[in-house]
Amino acid sequence: ILNGKPKMQLLYVMKDQMAVKTPVTTGIFDEEHIEITSGVALGDVVITSWSPRLLDGVEVEAASDIAVK
């Protein structure tokens, strides 16, 4: 999750093989988990690894095993 306004954060999702910066609203959190209360839908592929080259609109490739939780 990228920093944003309080309770409004940003993350990247993969759409059409592109990284798309997406605003999300967060809820409760602890050291390991953050609740996303709005901004992503079931089936969206959230990019969880980070690179300095990860920018909005950059072409990305998914790992072969995508987990849905």
Residue 11 is predicted with a pLDDT of 92
How are the residues of the chain apportioned to helix, strand and coil, as percentages rounded to the nearest 5? Answer: 0, 40, 60
The whole-model pTM stands at 0.74
Residue 68 is predicted with a pLDDT of 54
In the β-sheet with 34-38, what is the strand arrangement from edge to edge?
34-38, 18-29, 8-15, 45-46
Kindly report, residue by residue over 8-67, the tens digit of the pLDDT: 789 999 999 999 999 999 889 888 888 899 999 998 999 988 888 999 999 998 876 655
Measured between alpha carbons, how far is 12 from 50 in angstroms, rounded to an integer? 10
Residue 1 is predicted with a pLDDT of 57
Measured between alpha carbons, how far is 21 from 8 in angstroms, rounded to an integer? 13
Give buried/exposed letters for 5-25 (b at 16+ CB in 10 A, else e): eeeebebbbbeeeebbebebe
